[in-house]
Structure 1
Amino acid sequence: MKLSKLEKYFEVEKLVFHSLECALYNVSAVVEGQEYMITDEKNQRLKSHNILLLQRQCERVKAKKHVVRQSSAYDEMVGGPIKVNNEMEVSLGDNKLY
């Protein structure tokens, strides 16, 4: 979903900042129970090494909450069984530090 379209919603359930690798983040939004990856006008996913930059880009989105979501490969790295989903979500306030 394009950021410009998302900004027109009255309110979205949450903005999810996905922690990928080497401090790289991208953004999705949960709207009416569906999760959408957020893109710019050229259909490129919003991504950055700076989470504050992403928050600034999304400042006009009215979201009930912001979270950081991270998955870990730790279980597989230590020889444990592969888990289907070990995602962790941490609440991230929008302190307007940007």
Structure 2
Amino acid sequence: MQVKELQSVFSFEKVVIHALAPNLYQVSVMMDGEEVFLLDGKGKFLTSHNKQDLQELFKDKQVGAMVLRHQSAYDEMVGQPTRESTNCLEVPIGTL
């Protein structure tokens, strides 16, 4: 979904701010049970070094939940076997 399309959508089930690295974030939204990443004007994943900038995109929207998601590479780094389930942490955060 292009970021400019946000203007025409007023309600989201869930907004996910993905923590990729220290101070690097991407954003996806859940709509009709499907997770969709936001893209910039050039068709690339929308990223920011400030998670509040991404939260600000939804300040006038109805959001069921907003979370910060981090997927850890720790198991892989210490030689643990591949998990059958995800190694993901989601923390609820508020909207601005």
Short-chain TM bin: 0.7 to 0.9
Are the equivalent residues in 2 in contact too, given 1:7–1:61 (CA < 8 A)?
no
Q: Which residue does the alignment assign to 1:90?
A: 91
Are the equivalent residues in 2 in contact too, given 1:68–1:91 (CA < 8 A)?
yes
**2:94 aligned with 1:80:** no
Q: Which residue does the alignment assign to 2:18?
A: 18
Amino acid aligned to 1:87: C
Q: Indicate the RMSD between aligned Cα atoms, in angstroms.
A: 1.7
1-structure distance, mates of 2:62, 2:39: 17
Number of aligned residues: 95
**2:38 aligned with 1:28:** no
How far does residue 58 in structure 1 lie from its aligned partner after superposition? Answer: 3.2
**Unmatched runs of 5 consecutive residues or more in structure 2:** none
Are the equivalent residues in 2 in contact too, given 1:7–1:62 (CA < 8 A)?
no
What TM-score results when the alignment is normalised by the length of structure 1? 0.83
How far does residue 4 in structure 1 lie from its aligned partner after superposition? Answer: 2.7
**2:55 aligned with 1:58:** no
Amino acid aligned to 1:89: E
DSSP 3-state at the match of 2:21: coil
What TM-score results when the alignment is normalised by the length of structure 2? 0.85
Q: Which residue does the alignment assign to 1:41?
A: 41
> Relative to 1, partners in 2 of residues 1:58 and 1:17: Cα closer, same or farther, differing over 3 Å?
same
**Unmatched runs of 5 consecutive residues or more in structure 1:** none
2-structure distance, mates of 1:79, 1:28: 30
Which of the two has greater strand per residue? Answer: 2
Moved more, 61-70 or 51-60: 51-60
**2:43 aligned with 1:70:** no
